[in-house]
Chain A
Amino acid sequence: MKEFFQDFKDEFILNFVDGNMWKWLVDGLKNTLIITFFSLIIGVVIGIIVASIRSTFDKNREVYRRRGGFFYYFQWCINALANVYLTVIRGTPVVVQLLISYFIIFSSSRNGIGIAIFAFGLNSGAYVAEIFRGGIMAIDHGQFEAGRSLGFNYFQTMMYIIIPQVIKAVLPTLCNEFIVLLKETSVAGYVGIMDLTKAGELIRGRTFSAFMPLIAVALIYLVVVVVLTQLVKILERRLRKNER
C-alpha cells in the first residue's frame, strides 16, 4: 500500500510538478474554454440568422410568391444558400473543416486560436440553426397569428413573441451543443493549437508516462461538463418557474 502511494506521488511529481508542467494543462484548459465559448457565440449568431431565413421562407412562401418578382427570387436564393451551407457543414467532418480553414482559407495566418474559433463556430452554426428551426416550427402557429392579428409585422412577432419562447424551449439542447462543442475542440491539436488534449499529449511525450496526464485531461473535461450541466439545470428551473 505504501509503495503504491509512493509510486503515485512520484508519478504525480514527474508529470505535473517537474518543470511546472501543470501550467501546460491550465493553459490548455484556458484555450479550450476560449475556443468553445467564442465558437458557440458565433454558432448561435449564425444559427439564429440561418434558422430565421429558413423558417421565414417556409412560413411566408405564399405571401412572397404572390408579391412575386425580384423579392421572391431574392428570398429563394438566400434560402438556397442557407441550405447549401447546412448540407456542406453537416456533411463533412469537423477535423477536415478545421484543416481546410487552417491550411487553405487562412493559409497566410498563423493565429491558430482565431482560426479554430472560426472553424468551430461555422461548424456549430449549422447544428444550432437546426436546433432553432426545430424550436420555431414547434411553436403553435396560433402564436404567430395572435401576434400578427394585433398588428405586429413578421419580425416583431418573431422578436417579441416567438423567439423568447423558442429560447426557453431550446435552451437545454443548446447547452448540450455547448458541451458537445467543448469535447469536439479536442481535435484542435491537429493544427498545432495547445488545447487541453494537446497539453496532455505534450506532457506524455515529455515524460513517457501515459496514465497520469491522460487521466488528468479526462477528469478536467468531466468536471467542466458536470459543472456546466448543473448550471443548465438551475437555469432551466428558473425559466420554468414563471410558467406555473
Chain B
Amino acid sequence: MRDNSAIIQTIGLKKYYNGESIKAIDNVDLSISRGEVVVIIGPSGSGKSTYLRSLNLLELPTDGSIIFNGVDIADKNVDINVHRQKMGMVFQHFNLFPHMTVLGNMTLAPMKLLGKTREEAEAKAMELLRRVGLENRADAYPSQLSGGQKQRIAIVRALCMEPDVMLFDEPTSALDPEMVGEVLELMKQLADEGMTMVVVTHEMGFAREVADRVIFMCDGKIAEEGTPEEIFTAPQNPRTKQFLDSIL
C-alpha cells in the first residue's frame, strides 16, 4: 500500500462530521510524487479544500493515514509542527500578518523556527522578493499592497521555509481578474523549477497548462483522475463531464 516514491500519500483518508452523517472526505487514496503538480478540481462542497487542508492537518482527519516524507503525520503521537515547516501553504485570503512589514512576514518563521540570523533570513527574503519583482515593497505593510502583490508575498513567505511541497487553496479566488495572471505566472515558474505542488483551483487554463495530473473530486471522493488531456478532452465519468460543461 505504501508508495515509497511518493513525497506525500494519503491512505483511506476520511473526514466525517456529525458522526457519519456528513462525509466531507470519503476514503481518499492518493499518492503524489516528488516534483509533480497535482491540480484538484470539483464543484463546491466536493471536499477538495477540506482534503487539501487535511494534508497539513489544518483539518483533522477522522481516519486514515497521511504519509509525508515516510512518516504518518496523521498519527497523534507525531509532532506535526516539525512537518508543517516542510509544507508551504497558500490561502485564498492571503493571511499575511498585518502588524508586520513584508520583510517581517517573510523572516519571522525562518528566524524563530530554523534558527537563522536576521541577516541570513533577510538575505534569503530579499532574493525571493527580487525574483517576484517586489523588492521595493520590502518595508511596506500588507494593507499597502494590491491583492496580487499580497498573494505573491504569501507564496514567497512560504518559500522562505524551503518547503518540500506547496499547497495552494484556491489562491486566485479572492483576486480581481486583472491580478490573477501575475499569481498564476509565479505558480507556473515554481512548477517549472520542479516544486511539488498540490493546487485546488477553478482556473482551468492553469490546470490544463501546468498540471501533471488533474483530480476531479465529487462528494468527498476522487471521481476521476488523469492527465489534463484526458480529463478536459475525454472525461469518462458523467459527473466530470457535467462539471466541465457547466464551467467552460
Contact = CB atoms under 8 A, between A and B. Distances in A.
For B76, B109, B141, the residue with the greatest tally of chain A CB atoms inside 10 Å of its CB is B109
Contacts of B93: 140, 142
Contacts of A142: 91, 93, 95
Interface in B40-58: 56, 58
B99 A152 contact: no
Interface in B95-119: 95-99, 108-109, 112-113
A244 B143 contact: yes
Nearest to B89: A149
B113 A151 contact: yes
A58 to B, nearest CB: 16
Interface residues of B, number: 28
Interface stretch (B77-85, B201-209, B220-228): B77-85
Given A67-B76, A160-B112, A244-B141, A151 B85 contact: yes
A146 B98 contact: no
Interface string B54-73: 00101010000000000000
B215 interface: no
B84 A151 contact: yes
A168 B100 CA distance: 13
Interface string A230-244: 000000000000111
A107 interface: no
A150 B144 contact: no
B160 to A, nearest CB: 9
Contacts of A146: 89, 91, 95-97
Interface residues of A, number: 24
Contacts of B112: 152, 156, 160
B183 interface: no
B81 A242 contact: no
A243 B140 CA distance: 9
A165 interface: yes
A184 interface: no
Q: Do most interface residues of chain A lie in helix, strand or loop, or is the interface mixed?
A: helix
A146 B93 CA distance: 10
Given A67-B76, A242-B141, A244-B144, A151 B109 contact: yes
Contact of A148 (B84, B99, B158): B84
B97 A62 contact: no
A168 B58 contact: no
Given A142-B91, A156-B112, A149 B143 contact: no
For A145, A150, A156, A242, the residue with the greatest tally of chain B CB atoms inside 10 Å of its CB is A150
A168 B95 CA distance: 18
A152 B81 contact: yes
A200 to B, nearest CB: 44
A164 B95 CA distance: 15
B161 interface: yes
Interface of B: 56, 58, 60, 76, 81-82, 84-85, 87-89, 91, 93, 95-99, 108-109, 112-113, 141, 143-144, 157-158, 161
For the complex of A and B, 4 pairs with smallest distance between CB atoms: A151-B85, A146-B95, A149-B89, A142-B95
Given A146-B89, A150-B157, A150-B158, 7 more contacts: A67-B76, A143-B95, A149-B84, A150-B85, A150-B108, A150-B109, A164-B99
6 contacts: A149-B89, A151-B81, A156-B112, A165-B99, A242-B141, A243-B141
